[in-house]
């Protein structure tokens, strides 16, 4: 798979504090990649380094196979990081036209790009209104429209749903899904777990400038799964725990009941476990896969920071 983003050994300090502390990251082309981390974990700093807005102390960054200081390479990337400087006395459309012109588009080509970007973020109806009168959500959409103007192959969005009302959040998430469907790579920073679950096929979790996990979102969520088994008697439950541990499977008494077991699911799956129990004449009254909340998976990974 081609890399849309490749980060190696990236380090950046502000004074003595490492904001980014040795990150390695590989974002395959075509993925929707979640960059998840609590406040101050280094998401924005990493994105600024990615875009060449900040110089690293150490390490390298490749965007679409090129350097972030190469204009040809940057023209294939659209980004929303920090609020862009919009002109309050210009309309949404005029603001876009200004950026389109700066980006080398003109005439019909610029108009088509602007219509496309306005349509993507749902701002057509207010395109002629002055940006100065826009709400937070409308400004956010206009900022995303700017990022989409040049039909980028890679879209980098730093907390794009921040400050939006619920309808705005739904719209921006739908937009991201649409971008992915049209074959773009989306790199999305967020501290909202449901956003990652809904949108991202891959995720990296950042804590204090370091990656504490990365990979398929599905696999990360599976880490928070366990098997809840309940028996009719405590005697069966104790025998089952012994049998499972002998087979190398983690099993402990469920906190709330004597007949219940909590079984680790990082090895054999539920049916294999059930079979193993049946072979010892142990027949659960109930057996169910339970999932820790996303919050607890995240808090486990980030020490609750
Ligand atoms: N320009 C700067 N000068 C000094 N320190 C900075 C600067 N930018 C970031 N930092 C520090 O670097 C660390 C990482 O900040 P960063 O903004 O990258 O985090 P973040 O994950 O984007 O946080 P948030 O979720 O709040 O946006 C923080 O400790 C922050 O205080
Ligand atoms: Mg940030």
Q: How far is the CA of 186 from the centre of ligand 2 (A)?
A: 17
- How far is residue 282's CA from residue 280's CA, in Å, rounded to a whole number? 5
The predicted pLDDT at position 279 comes to: 95
Fold identical between 3-221 and 223-301?
A: no
Q: How far is the CA of 44 from the centre of ligand 2 (A)?
A: 4
Closest CA to 112 of 96, 126, 123, 125: 96
The predicted pLDDT at position 59 comes to: 97
The predicted pLDDT at position 1 comes to: 61
> Domain residues of the chain, as ranges?
3-221, 223-301
Q: How far is the CA of 159 from the centre of ligand 2 (A)?
A: 7
Q: Which residues surround ligand 2, an ion (CB under 5 A)?
A: 43-44
Instruction: Return the residue whose CA atom lies nearest to atom 24 of ligand 1.
Output: 39
Q: Does domain 3-221 have CATH number 3.40.50.300?
A: yes
Q: How far is the CA of 46 from the centre of ligand 1 (A)?
A: 9
Q: Is 9 helix (H, G, I), strand (E, B) or coil?
A: strand
Which residues' Cβ are closer than 6 Å to ligand 1? 14, 17, 19, 37, 39-45, 191
Q: Which residues have CB under 8 Å from 53's CB, separation 6+?
A: 81
Q: Which residues have CB under 8 Å from 157's CB, separation 6+?
A: 79, 80, 144, 147, 176, 186, 187, 188, 189
H helices within the chain, ranges in order? 43-50, 71-74, 92-102, 107-121, 136-148, 166-181, 193-199, 217-222, 234-246, 270-279, 294-301
The predicted pLDDT at position 129 comes to: 97
The predicted pLDDT at position 36 comes to: 92
Structural fold of domain 223-301: Alpha-Beta Plaits (3.30.70)
Per-residue model confidence as pLDDT tens for the chain (305 residues):
689 999 999 999 999 999 999 999 999 999 999 999 989 999 999 999 999 999 999 999 999 999 999 988 888 999 999 777 899 999 999 999 999 998 888 889 999 999 999 998 889 999 999 999 998 888 888 999 999 998 899 999 999 988 788 888 888 899 899 999 989 999 999 988 888 988 999 999 999 999 988 999 888 877 778 899 999 999 999 999 999 999 999 999 887 778 999 998 888 989 999 999 999 999 999 999 887 666 667 777 776 54
The predicted pLDDT at position 226 comes to: 87
- Ligand at shortest distance from the CA of 50: 1
The predicted pLDDT at position 304 comes to: 52
Region for 226 from its dihedrals, namely left if φ exceeds 0, alpha if ψ lies in -120 to 50, beta otherwise: beta
- Ligand at shortest distance from the CA of 41: 1
The predicted pLDDT at position 293 comes to: 64
């Amino acid at each position: 798979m081609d890399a849309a983003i490749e980060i190696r050994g990236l380090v950046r300090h502000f004074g003595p504090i490492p904001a980014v502390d040795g990150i390695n990251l590989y974002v395959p082309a075509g993925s929707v990649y979640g960059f998840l981390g609590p406040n101050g974990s280094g998401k924005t700093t990493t994105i600024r380094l990615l875009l060449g807005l900040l110089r690293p102390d150490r390490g390298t960054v490749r965007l679409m196979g090129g350097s972030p200081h190469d204009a040809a390479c940057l023209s294939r990337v659209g980004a929303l990081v920090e609020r862009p400087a919009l002109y309050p006395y210009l309309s949404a459309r005029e603001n876009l036209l200004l950026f389109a012109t700066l980006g080398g588009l003109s005439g019909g080509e610029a108009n088509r790009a602007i219509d496309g970007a306005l349509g993507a973020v749902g701002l057509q109806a207010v395109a002629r209104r002055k940006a100065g009168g826009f709400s937070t959500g409308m400004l956010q959409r206009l900022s995303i429209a700017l990022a989409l103007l040049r039909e980028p192959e890679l879209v980098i969005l730093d907390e794009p749903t921040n400050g939006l009302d619920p309808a705005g959040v739904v719209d921006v998430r739908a937009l991201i899904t649409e971008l992915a469907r049209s074959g773009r790579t989306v790199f999305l920073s967020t501290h909202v777990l449901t956003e990652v679950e809904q949108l991202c096929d891959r995720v990296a979790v950042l804590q204090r400038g370091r990656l504490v996990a990365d990979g398929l979102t599905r696999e990360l969520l599976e880490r928070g799964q366990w098997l809840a088994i309940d028996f009719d008697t405590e005697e069966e439950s104790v025998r089952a725990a012994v049998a499972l541990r002998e087979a190398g499977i983690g099993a402990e008494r469920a906190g709330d009941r004597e007949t219940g077991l909590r079984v680790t699911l990082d090895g054999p799956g539920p049916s294999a476990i059930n079979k193993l129990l049946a072979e010892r004449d142990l027949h659960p009254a109930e057996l169910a896969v339970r999932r820790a909340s996303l919050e607890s998976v995240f808090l486990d990974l980030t020490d609750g920071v």
